[in-house]
Structure 1
């Protein structure tokens, strides 16, 4: 399990890093109907780190009132650690509250098409039909990054782990898990498919019965790509200068955000304001970016889920195959 978790976290971080690099090579600017008069972008890495530290230790009530997402996240982590030894009744209550919040998120997402229709109408009425071209460019960068991670980055990770040709395993996972996840758009809903695939590969049930459900929660390479690309689209649109050090911090932050992404369709988009706060982008503009994400979400979310779910099996199998190699067992992958 230790090796699997390391692969999960490494894959998610590298996906975020690839997305950041691609966003600098192919910058995308969007048309946003929002004022930027009161925005104060950071001047460099020093200001970014200072703002990040101050946001982390912000008063919890103030963090909620001002929508300081980084402060809310840090207090949530501390609260979780403090409640580790709480009675089971308290944990049950918190779990029920979490389920209720997730249900509210689903309701909000169900109303997203109405908001998307308004955003598209406003963009076309204000800037003409040509404003939709930027959405196509954004979608191309998103899908391009996910495809690159799936057929270049992940095979390299697998090769370094099992020391043999990774592509039979990579393509088997994409074919039998990724295609199903593409249409379900939910890593959680694809867990039975991944369980069946692990059984076909002859993996240890005691391992994959834990790693697959865990991966559907924390192994979110596609979500890291989405968060990084859309955040930097906002940054390029507003003309904010980003140095290399800040970009690396964004890669780490997008990986952390991705690990906490909701399992519902479009859940990763709701974490974009957290990443945008790193650059001092106000919530009004950040939510415009979320709306743009919902516009391209049909293809983006399907590809994101396919990448997320297929790598759950890929990394679980890679970790066990590496153990087999040490024990001198033959690794056979049925095509």
Structure 2
């Protein structure tokens, strides 16, 4: 088969494999592979360059085309219920696996000289105020997706309310949306090279001396993520979305590979929006649910949260009772909502949970050496969950329309 006949997902798969081989060669040779990192960083910067304008333009066009505030309300309620439900299951899976496999037992990890970064979680009132941008231009510049979504929806519905008078501007946004799709396609042609560079750097830097002490934790994290896919995403896609999981994976290969190699949901966002549309999700739904999911839906992070809590407790010899672990589940849900739009949200959430169950904050630093490896699973699951949510909402909306 000729090289040009290969699809982009296949090319990315080849880039991934070549990157892993290159990383292993440099690791075993004891050579520095840092020279390749700028190539991967450049790819990430190109993707992040298009995220903000793509989200804003597509969401304005989608909201203006939707023209129905009650429909947006229905979609918001359905996607919020999906996010909360899957997040609760994910935290539970993390806790169950940690209790079964005991990742922190029989480990001699030094806890001396560990320091935890101080974070201050916002109050409930401030959390909701943080959604409203003081300056939409600043929200655009800072890439604050939640504030961007809020302003874009307002802008889109205001544009829709103008009727014929707003059509010229709406046409500009719809044309702009097509332009952003073309720019995205152009950037994605570089994906195989970017993925190769990122994986080569990760494999080359993650030496065995770092991985071996925590290999059990890594294995449990990946097994828990796979379990979540099997007991949540697979049945939901089959029985609600009416899509086979094989078909879903074929279409989602591109965003999932980007998520796995970059550890960035935002970097995978353009490819994820395009993939969900191929799954039958209308653009007005994908342009709302995917950016929102990138900001607030974190199934992978939820699994890690439950797992890391028990892991740190076992390292320090602290016994977490059933009620304490139930508290972890509840606080994780509340903290996930409470940290929306807050910088270093993952750190805020885990700090809130640790404080509630009286675990040393310094324990967060115990997994720092392998966090990149763990984050690859977390981000991939997050992106997968966003797409499944969009498919579910679309199916439920279609059912609602038939009534």
Pick the TM interval, shorter chain.
0.5 to 0.7
Which residue of 135, 144, 150 corresponds with 2:214?
135
**CA shift digits 1:247-272 (9 cap, x unpaired):** 122123334445648899x9735643
- Structure 2: any 5+ residue segments left out of the alignment? 1-74, 145-200
Which residue of 378, 387, 397 corresponds with 1:304?
378
**CA shift digits 1:125-180 (9 cap, x unpaired):** xxxx7x96440011011111111112222223444534x46524543465343222
Mapped pair 1:187 → 2:265: yes
**CA shift digits 1:73-121 (9 cap, x unpaired):** 243x3224467789x45x777997897xxxxxxxxxxxxx9xxx9xx99
Which residue of 123, 148, 173 corresponds with 2:227?
148
Mapped pair 1:78 → 2:157: no
Asked if the contact 1:174/1:306 (under 8 Å) is kept, the reply is: no
Cα 1:242–1:169 change in 2 (3 A) is: farther
The equivalent residue for 2:96 is 21
Cα 1:166–1:282 change in 2 (3 A) is: same
CA RMSD of aligned residues (A): 3.8
Q: 1:20 deviation in Å?
A: 0.5
The equivalent residue for 1:286 is 363
Cα 1:169–1:82 change in 2 (3 A) is: same
The equivalent residue for 1:32 is 109
Q: TM-score if structure 2 supplies the norm length?
A: 0.56
**d(CA) in 1 for partners of 2:291, 2:350:** 24
Asked if the contact 1:186/1:263 (under 8 Å) is kept, the reply is: no
**CA shift digits 1:205-224 (9 cap, x unpaired):** 11111111001011110111
Cα 1:192–1:252 change in 2 (3 A) is: same
Cα 1:195–1:132 change in 2 (3 A) is: closer
**CA shift digits 1:49-84 (9 cap, x unpaired):** xxxxxxxxxxxxxxxxx95x5xx3243x32244677
**d(CA) in 2 for partners of 1:95, 1:202:** 29
Asked if the contact 1:158/1:315 (under 8 Å) is kept, the reply is: no
Q: 1:235 deviation in Å?
A: 0.7
| Structure number with larger C-alpha Rg | 2
**d(CA) in 1 for partners of 2:401, 2:268:** 31
**d(CA) in 2 for partners of 1:213, 1:177:** 14
Asked if the contact 1:224/1:254 (under 8 Å) is kept, the reply is: yes
Q: TM-score if structure 1 supplies the norm length?
A: 0.66
